[in-house]
Structure 1
Amino acid sequence: MIPQLVTVRYNRSDGRRRRLFVPVLPVALMLSPLLLLAVLGGVVACFVTGVPPLGALRGAGRLLWALPGTRFEIEDGPMAFLVSIR
């Protein structure tokens, strides 16, 4: 399943918590022209390095498919940062 929502939560230095919900599909649609350039750059990089483009695309798809349920946290003193992908 492709991720649908990214939740970013962070504690500010004054102790207040902030939470941002980022829907993946609208952001991907807005950034689609840049995504197209990134894919073309990736294909060129595959040809330059000798990596099969279909194999690289398959690997990127598997990585994207494995993202839901991923969480990572960074904490440094009074500031904390959490990203959760659903």
Structure 2
Amino acid sequence: MIPQLVTVGYRRSGGRRRRIHLPVLPVALLLSPLLLLAVLGGLVACAVFRIAPMGALRGTGSVLWALPGTFFEVEEGSMAFLVSVR
């Protein structure tokens, strides 16, 4: 299952927490022109480094498929940053 929602949260030194919820599909649609350039750049990189494009695509798909349920948090002193993928 592809990710549906990414939650990014951070805590400032004052202790206030902020969370931003980003739906993946609308953001992907807005950034689709850049995504097309990234795919073309990936194909050029595959040709330069002699990597099978289908193998690279399969590996990228596997990483994206495994993202739901990922939770990443970094805390340093009074600052905190977290990313949650659902």
TM-score tier after normalising by the smaller chain length: over 0.9
| Superposed CA RMSD | 0.5
- Provide the TM-score with structure 2 as the length reference: 0.98
Corresponding residue for 1:72?
Answer: 72
Q: Which residue of 2 aligns with 1:40?
A: 40
Q: Aligned ranges for residues 1-86 of structure 1 at < 5 Å?
A: 1-86=1-86
Could you state the TM-score of these two structures normalised by the residue count of structure 1? 0.98
Structure 2: gaps spanning 5 or more residues = none
Distance 1:59 1:26 in 2: 24
- Identity of paired residues, percent? 74
Any gaps of 5 or more consecutive residues in structure 1?
Answer: none
The number of equivalent residue pairs is 86
CA distance in structure 1 between the partners assigned to 2:45 and 2:64 by the alignment: 20
Amino acid corresponding to residue 12 of structure 2 in structure 1: R
Matched letter for residue 45 of structure 2: A
- The separation in 2 between residues aligned to 1:8 and 1:19, in whole angstroms, is 6
